[in-house]
Amino acid sequence: MKKNLLKNLLWTSLWLLSFALLVVGPRELWENNNLFTIFAAFANLVLIVSMLYSNKNLFKSYDELQKTINLKATAVTLFLTVFLGLFWEGIYHSGLLPIQPRFSLIVVFSSICMIVSSVVISRQYS
């Protein structure tokens, strides 16, 4: 399992770097060069698929308790991210909240939610 965890960390780190390159590159590193941007987008897509397989292999190495904790934490995270994101969008468009929903903030919320829900759910089983 440790080997799969390290592979997952590697693929996720590479994806994060490629995503940063995709977002920042066209504005800061190169200008008006669609070839570089297309290459960065393709690399990012390939790394997304690699992360998918890495996560699948990591999940296969889990025991039943780890699978249960991970699935429950993922379900809580997905539910909260989708519905609170939609709620935020709704109250923004209705004029009740002046803070516009931003994808980056929703991703940060989702990450924090996954970490907290994993810890809380794992404590329920110990």
Note the pLDDT tens digit of each residue in 86-122.
Answer: 999 999 999 999 999 888 889 899 999 999 999 999 9
4 pLDDT more than 90: no
Give the rounded percent of residues in the chain with a pLDDT score beyond 70: 100
1 pLDDT more than 80: no
pLDDT value of position 33 = 82
The pLDDT-based confidence of 3 (bands split at 50, 70, 90) is: confident
The DSSP-derived string for the chain is: -HHHHHHHHHHHHHHHHHHHHHHHIIIII-SS-HHHHHHHHHHHHHHHHHHHHHHHHHHHHS-HHHHHHHHHHHHHHHHHHHHHHHHHHHHHHTTS--S---HHHHHHHHHHHHHHHHHHHHHHT-
